[in-house]
Amino acid sequence: MYVEKYVASGNDFIIFHTFHACDRAKLAQELCHRQNGIGADGLIVLLPPCSQSYNFIWQFYNADGSVADMCGNGSRAVALYAYTHNLAPSKLSFLSGAGVIYAEVYDDNNVEVCFGVPKIIKQNLKEYGRESWLINTGVPHLVILDTELDNLTTSQLKHIRDKYNANVNIVCLFQGQLRVRTFERGVEAETFACGTGMAAAFVVACSKRWMAQEGIVIPASNEELYFRFAGEKLFFKGKVQKVCGTIVA
C-alpha cells in the first residue's frame, strides 16, 4: 500500500485513496505512532463518491484510532492530495462526517476551505476563572479567553477536554494578533495547530469585536493563517506541504 504524508500548519496527516471501505482504526494507530510507525496526527482515506454532488468521501481517524467528523487542517491537506492525484479539480468538495466540505486549491499550494456556518453552543462559561465559549466548527471546541497562552497547564487543559468532551483552545490577543494554543482530543495532547480550533477562536474574536470579519490567526506553529466570513459562512486559507510518499506493508 502506498501512502503519502502531508503537513498543514504543523498538523501532519497520512493519506491514501482506495475503493474499499472498512474500519481502519487499528491501521490509524499503527501508521500514526510516532515511534513505531510513520508518525502523524491523523489518517485520512479517500473513497469513491456515492453522489455526483461531491468528488469523494473521506474517512478521518485521529492518531488514537478514534473517528472525527471534521478536521480543518486535514481538509486542506486532503484537498491538495486529491487535486495532485487527479481525483478532483482545483475547486472540489467531499463528504465528511460534518457534511459536504468545499475547498479550493491555488497554484502556490495554498488551500481554502469553507467551514459552513459555525454554531455557538454556549457563551459565558467559566473555566479556571476565565471566560469560555463552546463552539462547533465541524467538531466541538471550548475556547478560553486569557491574557497569556501559557497561564494554564497541559493537565488543566486535559481536565477541561474530558469535562466537555471537546477540543480546548486558549486564545489571547497580543499586539493586535490573535494567538491560539490547542489541546486536541483524539491526539490527546497539544498540537502545533488545529484548523477547526482556530476557526472557533476566530468566531469568538469576531463576536467580541476583537477582529473584523477577516483576519490572521497564529497557532503554535507560528504560521499566519487567514480567516474570513462571507455572509454567515466561515473560510480558512493556508499553505499545505507534501512531506513524502512511501510503501507500507
User: Closest Cα to residue 76, out of 27, 12, 119?
Assistant: 12
- Establish whether 71 is a catalytic residue: yes
Choose, from 32, 71, 172, 206, the residue flagged as catalytic: 71
DSSP annotation of 147 reads: S
**Is 223 in contact with 193 (CB distance < 8 Å)?**
yes
pLDDT tens digits, residue range 62-108?
999 999 899 999 999 999 999 999 999 999 999 999 899 999 999 88
pLDDT tens digits, one per residue of 192-215: 889 899 999 999 999 999 988 999
Instruction: Determine if the pTM surpasses 0.85.
Output: yes
What is the rounded distance in angstroms from the CA atom of residue 163 to the CA atom of residue 170? Answer: 16
Quote the DSSP letter at residue 109: S
What grid cell was written down for 9?
A: 500548519
Q: b/e map of 184-222 (b: 16 or more CB within 10 Å)?
A: bbbbeebbbbbbbbbbbbbbbbbeeebbeeebebbbbbe
- Dihedral (CA of 192, 166, 151, 199) sign: positive
Task: State yes or no: is 244 an active-site residue.
Answer: no
**Residues 116-164: tens digit of each pLDDT:** 899 999 999 999 999 999 999 988 999 999 999 999 999 999 999 999 9
Q: Is pLDDT of 7 > 80? A: yes
The mean predicted confidence, pLDDT, of the chain is: 94
> What are the phi and psi torsion angles at 238 (to 5°)?
-175, 170
Choice among 32, 172, 194, 206 that is catalytic: 194
All cell numbers assigned to 50:
456515492
Residue type, 79: A
For the segment 34-58, what is each residue's pLDDT rounded down to a tens digit? 999 999 999 999 999 999 999 999 9
What's the pLDDT tens digit per position in 169-184? 999 988 878 999 999 9
Q: Residue 248 has what pLDDT?
A: 86
